[in-house]
């Protein structure tokens, strides 16, 4: 195909909204003489955690979300054929909180979520019950005034911001939650998922790994559901190296129970029962009954304040919060979308290593309808990937190497990274003094090499990106023309074959 050829009528465009440390992708399929088909994959931006003054770029981006929503509503004519909500994190769903008044007016015809969000799936419910009660306990801990100011508490508070409003999180997992109303803005990511379920009743699909779903105009697009995995061993694997030390990664109900009972005791709840305490009351005294005991004097010695352990249990609470963060990332709905002609677009959301590796555990479809039906394998699908939405804003542990990126061997490969490096670097904490390393340098260098620099970033330099795509035989890069200096979005247009006529029903 020569560069001068007229624009092919059959195409898919991937639009990435820029300036967000968060995912917001609009997929549009066009065919001659047909209204376009539009799918929204996530809509979120990182929460502005902590003092806004120290994070001007983060704060600006949350305001920016409103512009994104307005553009989205205008350019789609208020109709989305499909919304994919990949996982319960703020940087993927917060559009539904921050720009609710704009987005609530949309018509949403269909919703896809991972099986982990299915309220009738017992495995999913068990997983969510653990996660929800942990989040709720952690939110309770953050509110303990006696411990205010502790670094670990601040770190927990930061991690909880990925789920929405603290009060709302504290109520997670509680029974008798009031049913949500369609016109009431959700306050947490769980609430956003519930709102979407309500918005498209009977049109919500909970996708299983290995499922193959036809969609788009004339069902001419194929989605291969790669993850999240059903096997717990994969679901809990967050980091590449596995070993005895890593085995206890997935959040366990007993850790959550321990935190809950600690919390109950500290909140002075009246429901404390014998089972909450390790020893019979005749062996123990309250903190105000210790007068006269020499060891209590040692403990209270003002000279040895630094040796006290009153808040030491927050260490395990912080570890728990980190684990949950990784666990939820691993429930990402990872999709490979095949266009007519065989080119594949890969959207792994924030899948971590276990999710990636699990793609190779099954065929597509996992169980063919007839034994002789052809099935696809993960390496086959990955070898045809021409577009990669880089996972988790290109962090260090969300793109598998040998079983992932290195299998994307197409010479046409291009990538989009929903990242704003200045915002990532603003996320400084005691634990990450330099902020987040996004994009992670080693991965970024490899991406540039494999795509011959065809990488579009949420904060990219337009001239560089345009130059890189000059010779692309697959993609045309364009930007939001209304804001030429700092376009709201970048778009990659991929010419596709015309769909094959669907076989006549038998």
Binding site for other proteins (CB under 8 A): 151, 239-241, 243-249, 252-255, 257-259, 261-262, 265-266, 276-280, 283-287, 289-290, 293-296, 298-299, 306-313, 315-316, 319, 396-397, 429-433
Pick the closer one to other proteins by CB: 299 or 380: 299
Nearest CB to other proteins, comparing residues 60 and 296: 296
Least distance between other proteins and beta carbon 56 (Å): 23
Ramachandran sector of residue 394 (left: φ over 0; alpha: ψ -120 to 50; beta: rest): left
Nearest-approach distance from CB 182 to other proteins, in angstroms:
40
Q: How far is the CB of 268 from other proteins (least distance, A)?
A: 9
Strand order through the sheet with 455-457? 212-215, 221-227, 334-338, 344-347, 385-389, 414-417, 455-457
Give the nearer residue to other proteins in terms of CB position, either 121 or 276. 276
Closest to other proteins by CB, 71 or 261: 261
Q: Cα(20)–Cα(38) distance, rounded to whole angstroms?
A: 21
Among residues 425, 376, 494, 469, the alpha carbon closest in space to that of 58 is found at 425
CB 453 → other proteins: shortest distance, Å?
A: 22
- Tokens of residue 113, six digits: 């979520």
Contacts of 470 (CB under 8 A, 6+ apart): none
Q: Quickly list DSSP for 320-359.
A: HHHHHHHHHHHT--EEEEEPTTS-EEEE-TT--HHHHHHG
Within 307-458, strands assigned E span 334-338, 344-347, 385-389, 414-417, 455-457
Is residue 102 a contact partner of residue 187, using CB atoms and an 8 Å limit?
Answer: no
Q: Which is nearer to other proteins, 76 or 316 (CB)?
A: 316
Q: Is the peptide bond before 36 cis (omega within 30 degrees of 0)?
A: no
Comparing CB distances to other proteins, the nearer of 261 and 362 is 261
The closest alpha carbon to 332, from 182, 260, 405, 227, belongs to 227
β-pairing, 489-495 vs 82-84, is: unpaired
Residue number, 219 or 289, with CB nearest to other proteins:
289
Looking up tokens 């260090």, which residue turns up? Answer: 396
Nearer to other proteins, 66 or 260 (CB): 260
- Residue 125 or residue 319: which is nearer to other proteins going by CB? 319
CB of 245 to other proteins, least distance (A): 5
Q: Which of 134, 90, 130 is nearest to 319 (CA)?
A: 134
We find the least distance from the C-beta atom of residue 199 to other proteins, in angstroms, to be 38
Minimum distance from CB of 447 to other proteins (Å)? 17
- Phi and psi of 39, rounded to 5°? -125, 135
Least Å distance, CB 144 to other proteins, is 12
Shortest CB 324 distance to other proteins, Å: 14
Q: How far is the CB of 443 from other proteins (least distance, A)?
A: 11
State how far Cα 257 lies from the chain centre. 26
d(CA 247, CA 504): 52
Which residue shows structure tokens 């291009």?
414
Q: If you count them, how many residues does the chain have? A: 506
Which is closer to other proteins, CB of 286 or CB of 374? 286
Given the structure tokens 């969000």, which residue do they identify?
Answer: 117
To other proteins, the closest distance from the beta carbon of 128 in angstroms equals 18
DSSP summary character for residue 505: P
Nearer to other proteins, 101 or 247 (CB): 247
First to last CA, the chain: 37
């Amino acid at each position: 195909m020569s560069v001068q050829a007229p624009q092919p009528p059959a195409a898919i465009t991937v639009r990435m909204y820029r300036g967000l440390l968060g995912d917001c992708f609009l997929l549009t399929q066009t065919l001659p003489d047909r209204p376009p088909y539009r799918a929204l994959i996530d809509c979120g931006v990182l929460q502005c955690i902590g003092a806004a003054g120290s994070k001007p770029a983060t704060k600006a981006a949350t305001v920016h979300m409103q512009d994104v929503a307005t553009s989205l509503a205008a350019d789609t004519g208020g109709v989305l054929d499909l919304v994919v909500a990949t996982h319960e994190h703020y940087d993927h769903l917060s559009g539904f909180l921050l720009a609710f008044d704009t987005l609530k007016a949309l018509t949403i015809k269909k919703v896809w979520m991972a099986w982990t969000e299915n309220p009738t799936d017992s495995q999913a419910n068990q997983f969510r019950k653990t996660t929800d009660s942990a989040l709720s306990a952690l939110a309770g801990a953050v509110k303990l005034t006696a411990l205010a100011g502790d670094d670990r508490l601040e770190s927990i508070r930061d991690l909880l911001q990925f789920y929405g409003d603290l009060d709302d999180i504290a109520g997670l997992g509680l029974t008798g939650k009031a049913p949500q109303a369609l016109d009431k803005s959700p306050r947490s990511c769980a609430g956003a998922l519930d709102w979407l379920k309500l918005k498209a009743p009977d049109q919500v699909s909970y996708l299983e790994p290995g499922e193959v779903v036809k969609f788009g105009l004339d069902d001419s697009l194929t989605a291969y559901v790669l993850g999240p995995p059903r096997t717990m061993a994969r679901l809990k694997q967050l980091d590449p190296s596995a070993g005895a030390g890593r085995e206890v990664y997935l959040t366990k109900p007993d850790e959550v129970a321990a935190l809950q009972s600690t919390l109950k005791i500290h909140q002075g709840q009246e429901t404390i029962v014998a089972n909450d305490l390790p020893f019979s009351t005749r062996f123990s005294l309250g903190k105000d009954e210790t007068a006269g005991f020499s060891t209590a004097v040692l403990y209270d010695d003002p000279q040895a304040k630094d040796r006290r352990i009153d808040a030491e249990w927050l260490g395990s609470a912080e570890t728990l919060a980190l684990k949950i963060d990784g666990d939820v990332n691993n429930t990402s709905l990872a999709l490979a979308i095949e266009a007519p002609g065989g080119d594949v677009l890969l959207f792994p959301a924030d899948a971590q290593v276990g999710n990636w590796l699990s793609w190779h555990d099954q065929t597509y479809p996992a169980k063919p309808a007839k034994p002789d039906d052809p099935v696809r394998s993960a390496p086959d699908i990955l070898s045809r990937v021409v577009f990669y939405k880089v996972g988790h804003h290109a962090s260090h542990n969300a793109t598998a190497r040998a079983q992932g990126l290195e299998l994307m061997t197409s010479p046409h490969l291009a990538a989009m990274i929903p990242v704003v490096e200045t915002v990532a670097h603003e996320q400084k904490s005691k634990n990450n003094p330099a902020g987040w390393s996004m994009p992670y340098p080693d991965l970024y260098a490899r991406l540039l090499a494999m795509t011959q620099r065809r990488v579009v970033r949420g904060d990219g330099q337009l001239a560089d990106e345009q130059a890189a795509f000059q010779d692309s035989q697959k993609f045309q890069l364009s930007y939001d023309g209304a804001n030429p200096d700092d376009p709201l979005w970048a778009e990659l247009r991929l010419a596709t074959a015309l769909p094959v006529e669907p076989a006549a029903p038998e």
